[in-house]
Amino acid sequence: MRASQARTDAMRSRLHILHLQYAAWSQASSLFEYLDKIGRKTPSSVMAALKQDSSLLGHMAGVVLACKELQKWLGGKLDQLLTSSEYLKPFFIRRRDENGSAAIHPNLANPEARNPKDGTIELVLTSLLREGGPESNPSTLLRALWPVLQKHTEASKITADAFDCLGDFGIVSEFVGGLVDTTFGKELKQLVAEANKSGASKSWFTTLCAIPESKLQRLPPTPRFDLYGELDAIVASQANQWLEVVFSLDGRPGLDTIIATNELVPHYDHLWMYIDSTLWEAAEQLEGTPGSLKDMYGLVNPDHEERPRYSREFLKEFYRVEHERKESAPTPAPAAQPSESSIPVAIPGQDEVARAPPRPTEAPKTKRKGKGKKKKAPRPSPNDAAEPPEDKEADEDHPFIPNLSKLSHKTIEIFQRLLSHEEKSGQIRWGDFEKAMAQAGFDVIQTEGSSVRFDPLVGDARPISFHRPHPDSTLSPVLIRWTGARLKRRYGWTASTFSTESANVDTAAEAE
């Protein structure tokens, strides 16, 4: 169970970072292609263009912030990967802070962790984690790790995944440094500050964020890390809100089936059809301008005929290898062939005449059907991802009906608010939601990152996972509707399920 959840959390974390990478580098590519097109190829000429064009300045600020946000998330993932190898695990303790975020600290109970040897990677990581982690000081991390990792004994202490992430982190850190820690970067920061002061930067919102202000779950500013003031919070809020969408994916049925059967061809495409469909529909609900959020994160249209498919690539590779095998095989001498006659010949023991095979031009003609309206295939669910499309559909989720007599009035009100169709203001504290789920019969389990899984204690219903909002652990009205919709799909709950008229409220539960 834990291994299955860990695989799903790893998939979701990687998928979220891939979306941030696409957003950052596609925006950067678009900007610099435009600057090249208009002949601005030096820092001074680019700065002159930024001073003349406010929208171009907003685009440049958006590129810097998108890459800075990517750097932050890669840094958070990097410290997890660097300390997760078998050798380094004993040197560190993993825990969660009050907001549910994962935190790593040196394991002072380990004598080797208290006094790591000079020139070792454990010394570098111990020092950095005491200072706040890679994302707080990326240049220090890269300068400290580079000479250490030149030694084979130290490089062998971390995993290949950590090396890959370190490479991505190094690339984006160098790019951000060039646009922030230089004379150009300081002048750019001053221009953005002036735009913030004059109010000109308010027109940049749609450049920075594809989720409209009415739906965006705003994060509070973090002055210690903010580069461009309130603009940082806008970009960070969108990335955090999209994380909640990605962590709503349940890839366990599909991933478990692939691992159990080791059959990628029939199952992998269907798993990704579920992922693409879910993300596409979620983006449609969140984005302001149609297509803006999908384009920003590079989402794949599940209905597009040319969407990537593993089976198609598998067949291409299969035919390529087969062709090379035939080309490299020695050509045998042609065997003598008996002459064939196209004249029908009677064969003893058969009633009919054996005939020569028809020529290619004699292939039967098929009647062409008239064009009709193309029907959309039904979208798969998480359980469908465990079976290929041509197989029978997976069983539906089992309903889970809580014992209303054990629920307090406050818990019933929380579920009615979550499942109500009415638009209401106000928020729900995450802690109250966890308590309500626990009282309804779920085991509350903290998993990777800010992900929390709720396991039904009885029956056959499947668990459900949510991402704890942070740094402010509250469910906003938009997130309340999203959470309620997922509970309804998974367990069949509606507001009437928690009707106070049919509930015999237990005063003991009320007191709790």
Average pLDDT over residues 53-70: 96
Residue 334 pLDDT more than 50?
yes
Instruction: Give the bridge partners for 96, in sequence order.
Output: 102
pLDDT at 373: 47
Q: Where are the beta strands (DSSP E) in 72-126?
A: 92-96, 102-106
Distance CA 187, CA 52 (A): 14
Distance CA 320, CA 318 (A): 5
Nearest Cα to 302, choosing from 315, 283, 288?
A: 283
Per the model's pLDDT, the better-predicted residue between 68 and 498 turns out to be 68
Contact 233, 365 (CB under 8 A): no
pLDDT digits (tens, 9 = 90+) for 192-222: 999 999 999 999 999 999 999 999 999 888 8
Distance CA 465, CA 248 (A): 7
Both structure tokens of 479: 């997130």
Stated as kind and residue range, the H or E segment containing 148 is helix 138-149
Average pLDDT over residues 488-502: 79
Distance CA 244, CA 15 (A): 12
Average pLDDT over residues 233-238: 95
Residue 445 pLDDT more than 70?
yes
pLDDT at 322: 60
Per the model's pLDDT, the better-predicted residue between 323 and 48 turns out to be 48
Per the model's pLDDT, the better-predicted residue between 460 and 277 turns out to be 277
Average pLDDT over residues 35-58: 95
Residue 184 pLDDT more than 90?
yes
The confidence band for 461, taking pLDDT boundaries of 50, 70 and 90, is: confident
Residue 318 pLDDT more than 50?
yes
pLDDT digits (tens, 9 = 90+) for 253-287: 766 776 676 665 567 778 888 889 999 999 999 99
Residue 347 pLDDT more than 60?
no
Distance CA 463, CA 444 (A): 10
Residue 338 pLDDT more than 60?
no
pLDDT at 242: 95
Share of residues in the chain with pLDDT > 70 (%)? 72
Per the model's pLDDT, the better-predicted residue between 325 and 480 turns out to be 480
pLDDT at 55: 96
pLDDT digits (tens, 9 = 90+) for 392-407: 333 345 567 787 778 8
Residues 6 or more apart whose CB falls under 8 angstroms from that of 447 comprise: 5, 6, 9, 453, 465
